[in-house]
Structure 1
Amino acid sequence: MRPVHAADDQPLPPGQRESSWRPMHYGRVPRLDVERWSLTVGGETRDGGMTVLDRATLHALPWAEVEARLHCVARTSTPPLRWGGVRMADMVALAPPAADAGHVLLAAARGYAACVTLADLVHPDSLLATHVDGQPLTPEQGWPGRVVLPHLYGFKGPKWVAELTYHHRPQQGWWESHGYHPRARVVHEERFAHQG
Structure 2
Amino acid sequence: QSLTNKFPVLHYGPVPRTDLETWDFRVFGEVEEEKRWSWEEFQDLPRTKLMMDIHCVTRWSKFDTEWEGVSLRNLVDQGLISLKSSAHHVLQHCEYGFTVNIPIEVALASNFLLATHFDGQPISPEHGYPLRGIVGSISDRDDLLQPYFWKGGKWLRGLEFLEEDQLGFWEQAGYHNRADIWKEERLA
Q: TM-score, normalised by structure 1?
A: 0.84
Q: CA RMSD in A?
A: 1.5
In 2: Cα distance, 1:125 partner to 1:146 partner? 13
- Asked if residue 172 in structure 1 is aligned to residue 167 in structure 2, the reply is yes
2:9 is matched by which residue type in structure 1? P
C-alpha deviation, 1:161, in angstroms: 0.3
- Asked if residue 104 in structure 1 is aligned to residue 85 in structure 2, the reply is no
Q: TM-score, normalised by structure 2?
A: 0.87
In 2: Cα distance, 1:129 partner to 1:123 partner? 14
**Cα shift readout 1:131-158 (whole Å, capped 9, x = no counterpart):** 1111111111111100001022111101
SS of 2:41 mapped into structure 1: helix
The answer to whether the Cα contact below 8 Å between 1:21 and 1:79 also exists between their aligned partners in 2 is no
Of 122, 126, 146, the residue aligned with 2:112 is: 126
Q: Show the counterpart of 1:83.
A: 67
**Cα shift readout 1:47-78 (whole Å, capped 9, x = no counterpart):** 2x421122233222222111112211121112
Q: Show the counterpart of 1:162.
A: 157
Q: Show the counterpart of 2:187.
A: 192
In 2: Cα distance, 1:31 partner to 1:59 partner? 19
Q: Percent identity?
A: 36
Count of residues in correspondence between the two structures:
176
In 1: Cα distance, 2:185 partner to 2:72 partner? 22
2:20 is matched by which residue type in structure 1? V
SS of 2:37 mapped into structure 1: strand
In 2: Cα distance, 1:91 partner to 1:26 partner? 30
In 2: Cα distance, 1:154 partner to 1:146 partner? 11
1:86 is matched by which residue type in structure 2? V
In 2: Cα distance, 1:136 partner to 1:69 partner? 19
Q: Show the counterpart of 1:59.
A: 43
C-alpha deviation, 1:100, in angstroms: 1.8
Give the gaps of 5 or more residues in structure 2.
137-145
Q: Show the counterpart of 1:18.
A: 3
4+ runs deviating over 4 angstroms: none
SS of 1:78 mapped into structure 2: strand
**Cα shift readout 1:9-63 (whole Å, capped 9, x = no counterpart):** xxxxxxx211221221110000111232221111121x2x421122233222222
In 2: Cα distance, 1:33 partner to 1:129 partner? 18
Q: Show the counterpart of 1:116.
A: 102
Q: Show the counterpart of 1:144.
A: 130
Q: Show the counterpart of 2:140.
A: none
In 2: Cα distance, 1:180 partner to 1:97 partner? 28
Distance 1:91 1:26, change over 3 A: farther
In 2: Cα distance, 1:25 partner to 1:90 partner? 29
